[in-house]
């Protein structure tokens, strides 16, 4: 039991000290609900409602805008460095 606690403490310490990539956090928190809707439709036969479709499209559009702006900023910084 004590060893298990030490392993968990080491894991949480590593997670706390790790620097999470902001893009990963955005993609996971935004993309998981969309994936859940698609999997529920494919595996469970759930209907996809109009609001879910609109919300999914808006989420994908927002993610695309975020990643586009990040890549634009990275290109701008690379040009300034040269």
The tokens for 13 are 């310490």
Per-domain residue ranges of the chain = 21-81
**Helix (H/G/I), strand (E/B), else coil: 29:** helix
Tell me the per-residue pLDDT of 9-68, one tens digit each, with 9 for 90 and over: 777 776 666 555 666 666 667 778 888 999 999 999 999 999 999 999 998 898 888 888
C-alpha 11/C-alpha 14 separation (Å) is 5
> What pTM does this model have?
0.58
């Amino acid at each position: 039991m004590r060893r298990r606690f030490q392993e968990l403490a080491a894991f949480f310490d590593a997670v706390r000290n790790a620097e999470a990539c902001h893009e990963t956090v955005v993609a996971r928190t935004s993309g998981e609900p969309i994936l859940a809707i698609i999997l529920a439709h494919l595996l469970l036969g759930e209907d996809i409602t109009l609001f879910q479709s609109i919300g999914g499209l808006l989420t994908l559009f927002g993610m695309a805008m975020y990643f586009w702006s990040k890549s634009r900023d990275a290109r701008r910084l690379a040009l300034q460095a040269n």
